[in-house]
Amino acid sequence: MRPTRRHLIILMAVALISQNLGNVEGRTHFHNQKKKGSPVEAPSSQEAVSPSPVEAPSSQEAVSPSPVYPPPVPSDPSGPGDNSSSGCVFDVTSYGAVGDGSTDDTPAFRTAWKAACAVESAVLLVPSGYVFTMTSTIFSGPCNRGLVFQVDGVLMPPNGPDCWPKTDSNKQWIVFYRLDDMTFTGTGTIEGNGEKWWELPCKPHRGPNGTTLPGPCDSPALIRFFLSTNLVVSGLRIQNSPQFHMKFDGCQGVLIDKLSISSPKLSPNTDGIHIENTKYVGIYNSVIANGDDCISIGTGCSNVEIDGVTCGPSHGISIGSLGVHNSQACVSNITVRNSMIRDSDNGLRIKTWQGGAGSVSGITFDTIEMDNVRNCIIIDQYYCLTKACRNETSAVYLSGVSYNNIKGTYDVRSPPIHFACSDTVPCTNITMSEVELLPFEGELVDDPFCWNSYGTQETLTIPPIDCLQDGEPESVAEVSSYGC
């Protein structure tokens, strides 16, 4: 008999807390809860702007108990099982879905959802052998526990902005709202039909051979989980999103395993997985190739573990951007380990805007392989998309960032290590150990950049990073007030 989902969530939360306090090894599991209400339209998700914080779940909604005695750490996630045998199956074709790739099957999906939502451990089945088209839809809870949305066929939105219904939100396609104990899984494909959105003449983005190409206007995020708890997403192939492939806003307890996410290298703003105001997250054993951040972590996130992920091409794994428009940002206890980044513009990146407040702390990057990556290790507290950003005295405070066993090759167009910390709020407690980065081709770039950054080199670094200052700055007591 398999353990209950809530049991796995409790195990995962405790494991993540223990991991950040000590040396617990192994991967863990997570999850969250619900309440009825009207969904809030997704905020704009352009890379330049951190979305406004979503409403936090109330104390009655949040589920993150912390037992006094930690139970054993569960084994690695193993992917979806045979969900069809766990409860009643609601096949969308039984509710009128045609699946011919052109008929609007939205009414059938909504009717099937309503029926499945009312039954415990139900399976809403999108069967193989069909191509279903659906317009922008919010699948709302609360539902009975154990609901599985299983996509074995192909599911896609209308083909481009000209086909998008004028009455639908163009900021999001599928939204799962106020759900608890739900699984989104299957062996099928979520096809985003994003190409025509990428060609819209709004936001310029870099093209081949130094050219500039147009980018998206209000392009929709493909899949969004909002104010939900105890979620599992596994096994699916998600591709060619108009904008972000998958977003988690205001969620708690999320397990992501064995996903394949892909879009072309030059597709703008197609972040693979974006999380914000979300806690207790595990992202495992997934492959992500896209035109923006592989995984992006926004404000309000804590206790996140990323393990066994392959990124590239992409813009790497990013914390931020944070502190836009003088806002407060709080991120803590993030671990990235046993992962690979290849053919990417950035590797491991923390990016903040000047003028922000708050803190980033307890960040661990451990055992990461780089393959032809530009800006392998980068902290940028001067993040700005134009030349008009002015220097400001406040900043998000960065402390406790560890880089261990980071090895591989870099693109020599940029130094592989770049620590650009605020003029007035230094970065502190940066730890470097077993960092060995060599040119993918060309000569060694031996001038890493540091500015107002303090930390410790536990081993010699290749290339040498003599610019990292020892100890702590005299002003460290003052910047401690920036904590969240």
Catalytic (active-site) positions: 292, 315
Look up tokens 């290590």; give the residue: 417
3-11: long-range contacts at Cβ-Cβ below 8 A with a sequence spacing of 24 or more? 3/74, 5/31, 5/145, 5/146, 5/181, 5/230, 5/232, 6/31, 6/63, 6/181, 6/230, 8/74, 8/255, 9/63, 9/230, 9/253, 9/280, 10/65, 10/67, 10/71, 11/71, 11/72, 11/73, 11/74
The contacts of residue 14 (CB under 8 Å, 6+ apart) are 66, 67, 70, 71
